[in-house]
Structure 1
Amino acid sequence: MKKQFIVLTTALALCITTAYAQKSEDKLVSFGIRAGVNLQKMYGDDFLGNKLNNDFRTGFHAGINADLYISEGFYLQPGLLYSTKGAKKANNTQNISYIELPVNLLFKPELGAGRLLLGAGPYAAYGISGKNKTKTGEAAIELEAKFKNKVSAADYLNAAYYVKPFDFGGNILVGYELNSGFSLQLNGQLGLSKINPEIRDVTTDQRKWKNMGFGASLGYRF
């Protein structure tokens, strides 16, 4: 999975570099920065197959993107973000930090003093750190995330916090961009990949943890 993430990141860098080389001639690309708040949780099933009952937790995201011109009003927008996700339930909080690569198809029709933003597309993400914190009275237990695709039954029972490193899913967004370059954007995200690792030789594990969330951000396009 790590190799897949490196390939995706390299492809983004090459795409932006190629478009930048053309900028002076045909204005095919513009660059932007974006940062905002996340409301994220995990949905799916627990070990026994019961629906997860998590609450949303607050996180944030920040990063860069590029608008690559396709045709009148349409752009391909790859980006690279640092994004925090996770879930909250009673006295337990899960936090996972990702490097995320979204690639959205944007429709940007002119509207008033700027452009409307409508977009959708896939994302891929790679986990780089995380914590699972449980409070019991005045005490708290914190476990650092360990990123593995498969674990043994002994590992699972060893009071550790295991998650898969790789995640992917889909984005949708709506927003408005002023001619000055400033923009406001709302987005939704639905994870399609299980982020809980498989437990070897355990057939009763019905866990299906997946990320989902919403966000709002401010941006500036140069």
Structure 2
Amino acid sequence: MKNLLLFTAVLLFAFTTAQSQEFRLGAKIGLNVASLGGDSGYYGGGISGVSSFGSRRSFHIGGLAEIPLMGKFALQPEILYSSEGSDWSFGTGDTALKLDYIRVPVLAKYYILEGLSAEAGPVFGVLVSVNEDKYVKKDNYKSFDAAFGIGASYRLNMGVFFSLRYNKGLLNVNEEYIDDGVTYSNKNQSNVFQVSAGYTF
């Protein structure tokens, strides 16, 4: 009986503490500065040389929820459309490798002071689009990706917020494949720096 009373008291305390913060829904949009880390590309067979990857500027957009936990902690799941990839230089030619994902970050937040929070957690992704051409095929890239995100947000009293985040790719985005007798087995990760603005209510 005493254990049951103690358990009930702990639950009531946790619930009361959680209610001191607000459950919020919101939307966000922002700039991506994306690049592929890891190997550069080597090409043989009908073409030869080494490609290099640079930063690609694009966007992300989506929605989020903020779920209060105990004390200054909260959980922030999101669902975003995130356009990533890299600028791609090969010889004298430049193009953009576009890898577009549906991303699901699940971030733990800690409020350092009112309005200002630090956030970190896993960022899952499903590949939905690739700008295919003669040398780039969607089948050459893995359908699932995972990264680790870390950043900070500041929310104004009116509900507008601004955030900075860096997503470090944890998995290789490439699939090994053979084309014209040449094996392509590069190991690249999708890394993205994000600047966002949004609104929660």
Counterpart position of 2:142: 164
Q: TM-score, length-normalised on structure 1?
A: 0.69
* 1:34-113 alignment runs, 5 A limit: 34-46=28-40, 53-90=52-89, 91-111=94-114
Structure 2: 5+ residue stretches without partners: 1-14, 43-49
**Pair 1:207–1:144, CA change in 2 (3 A):** closer
Counterpart position of 1:179: 157
Cα displacement (A) at 1:59: 0.8
Task: Supply the distance in 1 between the matched residues of 2:148 and 2:25 (Cα, whole angstroms).
Answer: 22
Task: Supply the distance in 2 between the matched residues of 1:143 and 1:61 (Cα, whole angstroms).
Answer: 27
Question: One-letter code of the match for 1:106?
Answer: K
Task: Supply the distance in 2 between the matched residues of 1:143 and 1:110 (Cα, whole angstroms).
Answer: 52
Cα displacement (A) at 1:147: 3.6
* Secondary structure, aligned partner of 1:71: coil
* Secondary structure, aligned partner of 1:197: coil
Kept in 2, the 8 Å contact 1:46–1:206? The answer is no
**Pair 1:31–1:54, CA change in 2 (3 A):** same
Of all paired residues, the percent bearing the same amino acid is: 28
Counterpart position of 2:198: 219
Q: TM-score, length-normalised on structure 2?
A: 0.76
Task: Supply the distance in 2 between the matched residues of 1:63 and 1:190 (Cα, whole angstroms).
Answer: 20
**Pair 1:144–1:207, CA change in 2 (3 A):** closer
**Pair 1:130–1:205, CA change in 2 (3 A):** closer
Cα displacement (A) at 1:215: 1.2
Structure 1: 5+ residue stretches without partners: 1-21, 133-141, 149-161
Cα-Cα RMSD: 2.9
Cα displacement (A) at 1:164: 1.2
Cα displacement (A) at 1:32: 1.1
* Higher Cα Rg, which structure: 2
Of residues 212-221 and 102-111 in structure 1, the stretch that sits farther from structure 2 once superposed is: 102-111
Task: Supply the distance in 2 between the matched residues of 1:204 and 1:97 (Cα, whole angstroms).
Answer: 25
How many residues align structurally? 174
Kept in 1, the 8 Å contact 2:98–2:131? The answer is yes
